[in-house]
Structure 1
Amino acid sequence: MKTITLLLTVLCTMFSFGQTEKTGDILINTTQTDDTYWAGENIKVNSVVQGDLVVAGGNLVINDSINGDLIAAGGELYVNGYIADDARLAVGRVTINSEIEDDLIVFGGEVILTENAKVNGNLKCFGGNVEINGEVNGKAEIKGTDISINGIFNETSKIMGEDFTLGPNAKFHSKVEYWNSDGEIDFKEALVNTEATFNETLGDENSELSATTFGTKSPSLWVFYILSAFLVILILHSLFRNTFSEAVEGLEKNWFKSFGIGLIYLFGIPLLIILAFLIVIGIPIGLFATGIFLFSLLFGHLIAALLLVYYYKHKKTRKWNFWGITFLALCVAIILRLFTMLPYVGILISVVILSITYGALTLKVINFKIVPVKK
């Protein structure tokens, strides 16, 4: 009930937020005495928030205490301050370097809990690369692609990953069920008066958490997903509304060209990233490109939803305002998510949608033109 109430509160608050255009770089240096909501390209919190903090943006940094819940959606997030209640995060990359007093639910392309991280409640983690170096005092459920455990788990845990590795400091003080694509692994000294069970059925669960499902299999996660999607759509729409408006002009005649350029983006960028990592001086560029690429994949259907709404508005010459487009994009995003959750077909739909979306944006943003050859 608290989550639903918070969702309604955020929606109402964001309506007033939209009228003041709080976008760009935001620095919070004074104590916030109540629940606080911000959206911007870069947000840094250097002072105490007495209530809940809800933020959305490209780069988010939390350096001081949050005395309520933390809800964040965006590209990259660093949590260095104490969180007195729950944390619900949906980001491209997150690094947690502090204590969370209650539950942590996190969705991300890359999730890192440092050796200073401590979760006193339950942990639910859905990610690509997951690295746990801290301590979890509640039950843990971790699903990902590459999972590295080098921390302490004091209650029962489930771990599902294509690759699952244990570090020298990993300790499990209660039962652990796990699955990984290579089969059973040797826990060595990681088990403290308990046992580890390899469970084949967890592999089926893990396959359901693909890049297309994004953890939207239960009602509670759907509520969290809708909240996160709304925040991300809001910030994207606030910052790039002109880009979306211009990208749909002439799109009807350039579907195939957009699709082709988008395919180059989806499959060409990873190759360039690999090449950058092979060249020592290119590593910083590779890291930056990886973050951007993961963000584009993670939130691609939200970007596609905005583009589709702007395309329909342009084609039908509708006079929708900022908030009408935002809420319509949220509805379209939910529909796209349902389609992309379909087994096998969902992956194909995702590739087509993302290719057309990023192809159309590339054509307009970078002014990509094919110059005709003069005979």
Structure 2
Amino acid sequence: MRHILQIAVVGLMLTGPVWAQNLNREHGGDTYAAGEAVTQTLSATGDVFAAGSVITTSGSASGDIHAAGFDININTETGQDLYAAGSSVTITAPVGEDVTAAGYSVRSTSTAEISGNLRFFGRNVTIEGPVSGAISAFGGTVHLNAPVEGDAWIVGESVTFGADARIDGTLILSAPDEISVPDSVIPAVRITREPFDQHRIMQEWNENWGGAEMPMLPVWLSMFSAFLISAIFLLVLAAIFFTFADDRVEKMRRRVTRQPLQTFLLGVIGLSALFGMVPVTALTIVGIPFVPFAIFAILVVWTLGYLLAAYAIARRVFVAFDGTDDPTIMVKLVLVGLAICAVAVLNFIPFVGWVVNYTLVLFGVGAMTAGLLSIWIPDPDPALEADLITPSDDV
């Protein structure tokens, strides 16, 4: 469930333009913050979920912190684990347990004391805060300038050590050149050197990741398990949007049923623009590091568009069978679940299943595109639009 919530928060971040204002709310003991720029002084008793272009936090949090964005600065004393993903990630405060961070530039400062394990993945990795557990550092350049009480696994094209670097356990080192490790960091007898072969490293990583023996399941049960996990994820995502952005969801849902042709065409335009981001970003050269973010944005928008359109069609059928025009959140979630099951069944029909799924995505992306354009280009005469709405439009 934790990983589902992490992905959901990233989805909230990437669909930030849907809201006219930032999100800042406590719910169920957890703290949620999302927006273009999130600056928060925390005093959280539970977990913290933050998403935005620029995230800067201070204060304290008793539980875990999950942060996703472009520029992330965590100056919050974290009681348990810290998870962060962004272009630039900087950690400047103590963490009670483990740290897992990924980005182009990932750094822990001298004030960021890590009580558990540290795992850094990035182009430029810098570790300056003391680590009580083990470290795993994978990057283009890796710089260690902190004491490590446990073992270390360092893989990088360039590896350097500062004056404060010390490894009390063992060191597994992979680098393309012969890296000189000072005796003050670790004696040579406790160093294991492995050849730097990126292809072999990734192959071993994949094999070890998927090499655990699992009970063999029948094919049908494996497929059902995969469907069940996907359905639960989509239902959790729908519940979050129904809770925090229900009005906006309803506006986009009505657009799908009121103006299907226009919404479909806007979906074609919106999805084309998203796919066009990838080559255009790569052609700028400086934007190459952001290509993965563009691809991830496509995946998130595709999923959200599919979910929105499936819900819109289910609501339309529900009203056609004398359902209420203002259902509760529980009824909405039931409709979403039924829609997911119906579309999943259609997937077993060759060609037709793909066409239905793709059409739903275009409808959903079209409604999201229209909502985004309505924020950037306000209606010059909203009264005229109101006059054109008839009671039947509420369906």
Shorter-chain TM-score range? 0.5 to 0.7
Task: Specify the alignment match of 2:56 in structure 1.
Answer: 61
Spell out the pairing of 1:152-231 with structure 2 (5 A cutoff). 152-161=147-156, 163-169=157-163, 170-180=165-175, 182-188=176-182, 191-193=185-187, 195-200=190-195, 203=198, 206-207=201-202
CA distance in 2, matches of 1:327, 1:106: 33
User: Which of 1 and 2 has greater Rg?
Assistant: 2
Partners of 2:69 and 2:86 within 8 A in 1: yes
Flag the 1:156–1:270 CA change in 2: closer, same or farther, 3 A: same
* Aligned pair partner of 1:97 in 92, 95, 99: 92
Residue segments in structure 1 that go unaligned for 5+ positions in a row:
12-20, 275-288, 336-355, 368-375
Residue 141 of structure 1: CA displacement?
Answer: 1.8
CA distance in 2, matches of 1:50, 1:58: 25
Partners of 2:91 and 2:109 within 8 A in 1: yes
Flag the 1:312–1:48 CA change in 2: closer, same or farther, 3 A: closer
CA distance in 2, matches of 1:262, 1:157: 40
Residue 188 of structure 1: CA displacement?
Answer: 3.5
Structure with the bigger RCO (C-alpha within 8 Å, sep 6+) is 1
Residue 70 of structure 1: CA displacement?
Answer: 1.8
Flag the 1:103–1:326 CA change in 2: closer, same or farther, 3 A: farther
Q: TM-score, structure 2 length as denominator?
A: 0.55
Task: Specify the alignment match of 2:280 in structure 1.
Answer: 268
CA distance in 1, matches of 2:335, 2:289: 25
CA distance in 2, matches of 1:77, 1:231: 23
Flag the 1:82–1:363 CA change in 2: closer, same or farther, 3 A: closer
Cα deviations across residues 297-340 of structure 1 (Å, max 9, x unaligned)? Answer: 45542233223445667899967999759988xx9xxx9xxxxx
Residue 110 of structure 1: CA displacement?
Answer: 3.4
Partners of 2:93 and 2:112 within 8 A in 1: yes
Flag the 1:10–1:134 CA change in 2: closer, same or farther, 3 A: closer
CA distance in 2, matches of 1:174, 1:306: 46
RMSD value, Cα: 5.4
Spell out the pairing of 1:1-375 with structure 2 (5 A cutoff). 4=1, 24-25=21-22, 35-41=29-35, 42-161=37-156, 163-169=157-163, 170-180=165-175, 182-188=176-182, 191-193=185-187, 195-200=190-195, 203=198, 206-207=201-202, 238=245, 249-250=264-265, 264-272=276-284, 274=286, 295-310=293-308
Residue 140 of structure 1: CA displacement?
Answer: 1.4
CA distance in 2, matches of 1:309, 1:33: 23
Q: TM-score, structure 1 length as denominator?
A: 0.58
Partners of 1:172 and 1:192 within 8 A in 2: yes
Cα deviations across residues 121-150 of structure 1 (Å, max 9, x unaligned)? Answer: 011233444332322220112234443434
Residue 98 of structure 1: CA displacement?
Answer: 0.9
SS of the residue aligned with 1:101?
coil
SS of the residue aligned with 2:299?
helix
**Which residue identity does 1:303 align to in structure 2?**
V
Aligned length: 299
Cα deviations across residues 21-53 of structure 1 (Å, max 9, x unaligned)? Answer: 99833568xxx8983231421433214223332
Cα deviations across residues 211-238 of structure 1 (Å, max 9, x unaligned)? Answer: xx9x98699xxx9xx98xx779968x95
Flag the 1:92–1:83 CA change in 2: closer, same or farther, 3 A: same
Percent of paired sites with the same residue: 17
Residue segments in structure 2 that go unaligned for 5+ positions in a row:
8-17, 213-228, 257-261, 319-326, 345-361, 375-395
